[in-house]
Amino acid sequence: MKKNGFKILSLAAIGIGLFGVGAAAYAQAQAANRPLPGRWEFKTVAAGIYNDSDDYCLSQVEIERFYNNPCKRNSVCVYSVKKFNPDGSATFKGTWTDRKKRVTKLNVNGVFQPTKLTLKGTASIYNVPVPINFTATRTAASCKK
């Protein structure tokens, strides 16, 4: 009986150790896909007829906020579904409210990379679903123009 109990404890310890290694690998993969601080250009294209772009600097603090809740400055983004995968892919469902207080429902998938974010999916603008592409590209490591 003592031998079986020892085997069970040994297997449990190995399982906990493997879980810890897996969790560390997951965290490392997520960190490798996080955007870098610097000057970024943001472009939104909806149905090929709505085009918007912004260019601004993101500090390390703003990068963390942006990674955890992708949203353009002067907008409010609320996601009911926010899923990050170790390979850098992500899924978001929720709403974007722009600076003119227009609310857009979103269902997008994309990929985070250190110098680029791409989200593609559908947006419901005035309750009409249209294709949307959102890209954020790091244009410089420095914030100086």
pLDDT digits (tens, 9 = 90+) for 92-143: 999 989 888 888 899 999 998 999 999 999 999 888 899 999 999 999 998 8
Does pLDDT of 25 surpass 60?
A: no
Question: pLDDT (tens digit, 9 = 90+) per residue, 40-98?
Answer: 999 989 888 888 888 888 888 888 887 788 877 778 989 999 998 989 999 999 998 98
* 71 closest CA partner among 134, 133, 132: 134
φ, ψ of residue 69 in degrees (nearest 5):
-155, 75
Give 77-81's long-range contacts (Cβ < 8 A, gap of 24+). Answer: none
Secondary element (H or E) of residue 58: strand 50-58
Distance CA 122, CA 96 (A): 12
